[in-house]
Amino acid sequence: MNKTVKWIFAVIGCAVALIVIAVIVLPMVIDVEKYKPQIQHQVEKATGRTFKLGGDLKPSIFPWVGIRLSDLHLGNPSGFEEQDLVSVESFEVRVKLLPLLSRTIEVRRFVVDKPVLVLEKRKDGKGGWEGLGKPAEKTAAQPKDLQTPAPRGEFPIKRLLVGEFAVTNGRILWIDHAGGTRKTVEDINLVLTDLSFDKPIGVAFSALADQQPVKLDGTVGPLGDRPGKSPISLKLAARLLDELEVRLDGRIDPSAAPPKFDLAVDVADFSPRRIMDRLGLKPPLETADANVLNAVAVALNLKGTPEAITVSDGRLKLDDSRATFSAQAGELTRPNLKFDLDLDGIDLDRYLPPPAEGDAGADTAPETPAASASQPTDYGPLRRLVLDARLKTGELKIKKARMQNIEVRVSARSGIIRLDPLKIDLYQGNIAGTGVVNVQQEKPSTAMHMMLNSVQAGPLIKDLMDRELIEGAMAADIDLNFKGEAPDLIRKTLGGKGNLQFTDGAIVGIDLASMVRNVQASFGLTRQPSQKPRTDFAELQLPFSITSGLFKTDATRLVSPLMRVLAVGKADLAGETLDFRVEPKFVATIKGQGDTTQRSGIMVPVIVSGSLTAPTFKPDLKSMLGQQLGQPLPDKEALKKMMPSEEDAKKNIEEGVKGLLKGLPFGSQ
């Protein structure tokens, strides 16, 4: 019995000795260097690129099967500036041997040190990474009875344990010879901790992108016993340039068809202006206020699939403004979009470009036909678009005009874009409107309806244009339609009708009462008052129609306690010509205005002609004299004073309305 035991221990001792010898001696005896040419050949065969293994191969066998390689180089094709596509200074992996028998992978160490990836693009647009690898050669199919069926529904790895997984001191170089750009991402470090199936995997990534820091930290997982077959939790925080921090918290489900995700996204306060400055870039827009775009934050929930995305509980901070929003996007190739935004208020003047330096009224060179010609607009994306967008804003300021309680809805389907409704409160009144743009044809067609109610015109025009034109409560009911997008075509095809009404106001810049009181004042022969002229009225009505760019009015009238004014005529918007006749008429004595003569029914018609940018005004003297028939004739001297030359009359009547014209958009030209 004792002899048997001795033999058993002897056999065990020999086995242990053999294992020790194999572990210690074999790596020293085996010449692995002779396998380097074979390894290089197989890699070159698989990639189609030159491959060089310059350093030593250092294997280990038990209990950790491992290998350490150094100085690896995978080349670029000929014709590229950089010799290597990929290079690695050292690579080491150690895997425990015995657990492999039970489909368990235990990795003690997986380290890649100083990898370099060069992405080079030639001037002809070809990249060095293109054409990498060859299709694997087809092998003869085995008889079905010799094929080993793979187990169905079973993941090939039962368990995964990784002690150390790291990529250190990496570098990525992007070279675009066509664009003349060269970008570098260096100091790339990636460390994964607790790399397994049943624990959250720690992620720590850092790099310098063009010398700007980028960091990513957090956890991913657990992956589950069957990775890719169960939802995966994410909790990541990215920090860019030490300025921008983005947090992701949620789950992705790669097992769903299509894959699903449900994430909370939180972008902490950051300054876009400082980020652009750190990157050495100019802001895309120069703003009137240099202090804007300094405080932005976003938070939202993102849910959906690669084909359909839903954004909910969105919150936006933009400087002093706050907004909530939600959105849906489906059929992304079309796309099909739904969007809701509720904004407390914003001053858009702060974000608009600053006023241009120099004389804004300076003449500009006329546009030549060649300069105005452009490629036709492609309306294909708008024809495919399905949209339902709603916007609400508590307060809005633009071009110094202030508005409140803005509500807009825009919808689009089958090439028809609708604006319904449009509601705005402004200057003690409100605006309501609708609009339709049809882009189904080559040239779009547009129709709109606009109603104004009790809008105070004076403050609105003063804020919007910094001019004084007209005062009073403004109401309007306007329908317009036109075709095309070019200004010339819009003017030629413009049609519609409407009515403008002003009550209890004044026309600023012209004193019609003074001009028609007598001929001398009408033509500016008397001394002008020092204060700005104005024509007060109880009501001003302007009904109009537009046909093919021809504006007509047959009953524009102004009503005041002292006078009535009737204007009729037309304006060719395409030809930019005017043809109007203005007939004022007194309805009572005007003793209070310096005229002791009892006058009633005195008419001094004014003819308005010329162009929109250079209108001319002249009195209709024949009509005026006709109105004087039946009245006591003045003596010769008085008649001379009343009847200046036609040139003086024309000159002074034009000066009398100069202040009014300067207030119009074309008045400075």
Partner residues linked to 119 by β-bridges: 174
State the pLDDT at residue 508.
Answer: 87
Contact 542, 568 (CB under 8 A): no
Task: Determine the distance from the C-alpha atom of residue 575 to the mean position of all C-alpha atoms in its chain, rounded to a whole number.
Answer: 37
Query: Mind listing the pLDDT tens digit for each residue in 403-413?
Result: 999 999 999 99
Helices (H), 494-562: 512-517, 519-522
Q: What is the pLDDT of residues 284-297, one digit of tens each?
A: 788 999 999 999 99
Nearest to 315 by CA among 302, 294, 297, 329: 297
**Are 237 and 219 contacting, i.e. CB atoms less than 8 angstroms apart?**
no
Q: Which residue has the tokens 């850092």?
A: 206
Q: Which of 299-313, 476-490, 520-534 has the lowest mean pLDDT?
A: 520-534
Mean pLDDT of 490-512: 90
CA within 13 Å, CB half, 121: 12
C-alpha span between 536 and 540 (Å, rounded): 10
Structure tokens belonging to residue 534: 């104005």
Q: What is the mean pLDDT of residues 577-589?
A: 79
State the Cα angle at 552 between 550 and 553, rounded to 5°: 165
Q: Is the pLDDT of residue 302 over 90?
A: yes
Tens digit of pLDDT for each residue in 334-382?
889 999 999 999 999 999 998 776 544 444 444 444 444 467 888 999 9
Gap between the Cα atoms of 404 and 417, Å rounded: 25
Would you say 518 and 524 are in contact if contact means Cβ atoms under 8 Å apart?
Answer: no
Angstrom distance (rounded) from CA 170 to CA 490: 59
40 Rama class: left (phi>0) / alpha (psi -120 to 50) / beta:
alpha
Tell me the Ramachandran region of residue 331: left when phi exceeds 0, alpha when psi lies from -120 to 50, beta otherwise. Answer: left
Q: Strand 470-483 and strand 58-60: pairing?
A: unpaired
Helix spans in 374-416 (H):
380-384
Return the HEC string of 60-91: ECCCEEEEEEEEEEEECCCCCCCCEEEEEEEE
Residue type, 513: A
Task: Say whether the peptide bond before residue 222 is cis (omega within 30 degrees of 0).
Answer: yes
- Reported as a pLDDT band with limits 50, 70 and 90, residue 414 is very high
Q: Identify whether the C-beta of residue 473 lies closer than 8 Å to the C-beta of residue 453.
A: no
- The CA–CA distances, whole Å, from 523 to 218, 513, 589, 637 equal 83, 12, 20, 17
Does 335 sit behind a cis peptide bond, omega within 30 degrees of 0 on the bond before it?
A: yes
Q: Which residue has the tokens 């804003």?
A: 393
Question: Which range, of 259-273, 420-434, 437-451, 525-539, averages the lowest pLDDT?
Answer: 525-539
Answer with the residue of higher pLDDT: 149 or 64.
64
Residue 45 CB partners (closer than 8 Å, separation 6+): 134
Distance CA 81, CA 85 (A): 11
Q: Which of 351, 425, 434 is nearest to 393 (CA)?
A: 425
Q: pTM of the prediction?
A: 0.74
**Hey, how many other C-beta atoms are within 10 angstroms of the C-beta on 343?**
19
Please say whether the beta carbons of 280 and 272 come within 8 A.
no
3-state helix, strand, coil in the chain (%, to 5): 20, 45, 35
Q: How far is CA 408 from CA 115, 352, 365, in A?
A: 54, 21, 38
* Residue 314 pLDDT: 96
